[in-house]
Structure formats: C-alpha cells, structure tokens
Amino acid sequence: MHETVSTPPAGGSRPGTNWAGNLTYRAARLHRPASVAELQAVVAGSERVKALGSRHCFNDIADTRADLVALDGLPGEVQLEPSPDGSGGTAWVPGGARYSELLPRLAERGFALHNLASLPHITVVGATATGTHGSGNRNGSLSTAVTGLEIVRSDGELVRLPAGHPDLPGAVVHLGALGVVTRIGLRFQPTFQVRTTVFVGLTWDRLFADFDAVADAAYSVSVFTDWHEVTQVWVKARTDEPEVTPEEFFGARAATVPTHMLPGTPVENLTDQLGLPGEWHERLPHFRTGFTPSNGDELQTEYFVPRRHGQQACDALRRLAPRIAPLLQVSELRTVAADELRLSPAQGGDVLALHFTWLPDEERVRALLPEIEAALRPFGARPHWGKLFTTGADELAARYPRMPEFRELVRRYDPRGAFRNDYLDRTVGAFD
C-alpha cells in the first residue's frame, strides 16, 4: 500500500535530513510506493519530484519542494543472470537496494563486482548516478559496471535501457535528472580475494618520484594525507597478484597493528588489515557494513583532475595546507580509470580523485571551497556530483564536452521539468 507522509523535522534520528545532517529536505510530502505502478502514479501526478537513496549526498542533489519518493518499499529481489561460460553475468538490483544487500548475494554464488566504494552503506543507484568510484589504476568507477537501467520518466512511463541502447552511456551518471530508477543491471565477474596492508612513512618526494608506480602497486591504492605530510597508504592487493612487502613499497614501512585513517577513531568499524586475505567485498571497502562509516559527523568534498596533472594539483593543495588543515579530518588520493559515460568525472581520461573529509563546519568549509577550486582550476578539476562544491554550470559545461548531449537527453526524458531542482539549475544549467 502506498504510504505518504509529511517530511518530518530534523532532530532525533533526523529523518528529514541527509546523512550528514547538513541539509534538511524541503519537500512537502515523502512517498513510499509499494509497487512500480504506484511509483508511476506519484511521478506522473507530481509537479516536481525527486528520489531518495541512502541520503549519503552532502548537497541538495535530491532536494525538491514538492514530492520525495523513497524506494525501499518497492518489491523485488536481486536477480543474478550468470553467463553460460561462468565468466560473469548481470545482477539486476532493485532501485532502493544498497551495496550491503547485494554483496553477500554475489559472494555466496562465487561472484564479485570489479570495484567498490569505501563504504557499502550507499545505494547502488545513488552511487552510480553520481560517478562514485573506488580506486585502482585499471579500475573504472562503480558506474562502469552498469549494463542496463529501468527508469520511470516524468510522464509515468517505465522505460528500459538494456546493454547497447544508445541512451545508456548518457543515462548512467544521470544526477536524478532523467527519472526514477526502479532497477539497475550490474556486470559481475568471478570472485577473488584481497589482502589489505597499511603503510606509514611514505614521503611526498617518494610518492611523486614515480606516482604511477605507487598507484599501480596493487589492485587498489589509497593515499591519506593532511596536506602537510602523507599519513598512510592503504594497499589492497589481489591474492593472485604479486604480494606487496614493506621493503618493496617506496621506503614506507608496514603498520604492525590495525590503523584508522582518522586518529583516535575505533578500528572496529574498519575491514581487516595486516595482510589478512579475505573475500573482495570484505576488503575493498574501508568500512564494515554493520558500523558507522568513517567518522559519521563530517562533510565531504572531492575533485577529479587528469592523472597526468596529479603532482601539480597536489602541489597546489599543499600550498593551501595552512588553510585546509584546521578544517580537515583527512584527505584521500585515489586513481580511477577512464570511461566514456557522458557526465562521469573520469570521462575521457584517467583521473586522480582528491577527497576531503571535513569537520562539520559547513560555513567555514564553503568559504574555503572557492580557494581550493581556484587552485585546481588550471588542471580542469571536476567536482564529485554528490559532495560540496561551488563550481557553476558554465565552468562545468567547459569541463564536460558531452554536456550538450546530456541536456538533450534530459529534454527527451523530462520535457515538463518534473525532475528539475535548484541543484540542476546551478550545475547543468539551461535545458531549453
């Protein structure tokens, strides 16, 4: 049965806010449809409507003044379609499902995804719609695993975009502008194991003496910093790859106890380290499913620069360290392989992702962001669509050469502007 409630106020468990609590949703109504047909009726009958996922976005990408829809009440289970030769297949995932619900289903059947974000608490649709990524020189973002979508357009029609559909490359990273995704297909592969080793003592000079070699030292590599120094390096190696040893890792030494990237934070919420082998889904994320990810009380920003400009971009940020460090909990550097998804931050070339986990002081963080963006502007920085940034539509259009194709796609899928909001006006600009 379709449930409609007024969006509750912030406070208590803060159901009217995003995950970080820095945004209170303005919608007059929150719907939890119990079927796709009910969802279609809500969408077709609403002047303005947006879908909510795990709410792990730090800006107003999913905000609207009229109707919000939560998809956790829709029926359906994860459906696996293995290929006949056992080399992989497609997982069809309900629109409201989180990675934490999908991963055990794949693992128990001996399958894996190619990459995961640092936390499994987020929804599959929300992560792929914003270009969320994971790490690895040869690993595309989570969005590159998408093989199909089912979307309710603003006229209420359910549209299917299978693999090979000409609209799919533009629809994967969609920012919620095309419709409400009810089902998403992901490519999977045979399972694999990973071991995580944390290294300390890496210097900036050694890091950038051969940055490509550092980033390519294992399947997934994350470099943590406070912009004064490199604080840790998390090296996640597949067990079927050559083992990384302390002597081999660019002068850094292996930590001898489990180590959190945020000093003073309990290590129990982290996945296992110390080179202990484990299944892919128990190592590629930094955080365990059953615990609060990261510090919990934080804001986030992230920018992507072409990997060839990585050292220059980091040098520019290091010069801002006295301004950044007082507001920072930690920064993380990760590489992401190129793709050709229209609004993917890695569209057109390999990128270095520069991530900032901030203290929960939004006023001061927002005041600092223009300085960071100015420092990164010479390198063509693209912000993460789901995090805090101030870059506007004109500059983003220059950063995304295929933005006109995306705008044309939005005009076709949402001609009446039901999925438009302030966020899209600021970032994508005019659709007319």
- The residue written with tokens 């497609």 in the block is 90
The answer to whether the beta carbons of residues 354 and 301 sit under 8 Å apart is no
Q: Where are the alpha helices (DSSP H) in 7-70?
A: 36-45
**Nearest residue to 124 (alpha-carbon basis) of 76, 192, 194, 67:** 76
Annotate 14-52 with b (16+ C-beta within 10 A) or e (fewer).
eebbbbbbbbebebeebbbbeebebbbbbbeebebbbbb
CB atoms within 10 A of CB 86: 10
pLDDT in the model for residue 2: 64
Measured CA to CA, the distance from residue 349 to residue 358 in angstroms comes to 28
**Nearest residue to 75 (alpha-carbon basis) of 91, 58, 95:** 95
Annotate 241-266 with b (16+ C-beta within 10 A) or e (fewer).
eeebeeeebbebebbeebbbbeeebe
pLDDT in the model for residue 8: 43
Measured CA to CA, the distance from residue 343 to residue 403 in angstroms comes to 7
pLDDT in the model for residue 266: 87
pLDDT in the model for residue 426: 97
Q: CA of 166: how far to CAs of 22, 125, 293, 319, 398, in Å?
A: 38, 20, 37, 44, 23
The answer to whether the beta carbons of residues 9 and 152 sit under 8 Å apart is no
Domains located in the chain, CATH noted? 3-70 (3.30.43.10), 79-191+402-415 (3.30.465.10), 194-391 (3.30.70.2520)
pTM of the model: 0.94
Helix (H, G, I), strand (E, B) or coil at 411: helix
pLDDT in the model for residue 12: 28
State how beta strands 67-70 and 29-32 pair.
parallel
- pLDDT one digit per residue (tens) for the chain, 432 residues: 666 554 443 332 234 899 899 999 999 999 999 999 999 999 999 999 999 999 999 999 999 999 999 999 898 899 999 999 988 999 999 999 999 999 999 999 999 999 999 989 999 999 999 999 999 999 999 999 999 999 999 999 999 999 999 999 999 999 999 999 999 999 999 999 999 999 999 999 999 999 999 999 999 999 999 999 999 999 999 999 887 776 678 999 999 999 999 988 889 889 999 999 999 999 999 998 876 565 458 999 999 999 999 999 999 999 999 999 999 999 999 999 999 999 999 999 999 999 999 999 999 999 999 999 999 999 999 999 999 999 999 999 999 999 999 999 999 999 999 999 999 999 999 776
Q: What is the DSSP string of 72-100?
A: TTS----EEEE-TTSS-EEEEEETT-BHH
Helix and strand element counts for the chain (H, E): 12, 19
Measured CA to CA, the distance from residue 193 to residue 352 in angstroms comes to 25
Measured CA to CA, the distance from residue 21 to residue 27 in angstroms comes to 16
Q: Amino acid identity of 402?
A: R
pLDDT in the model for residue 264: 83
pLDDT in the model for residue 242: 82
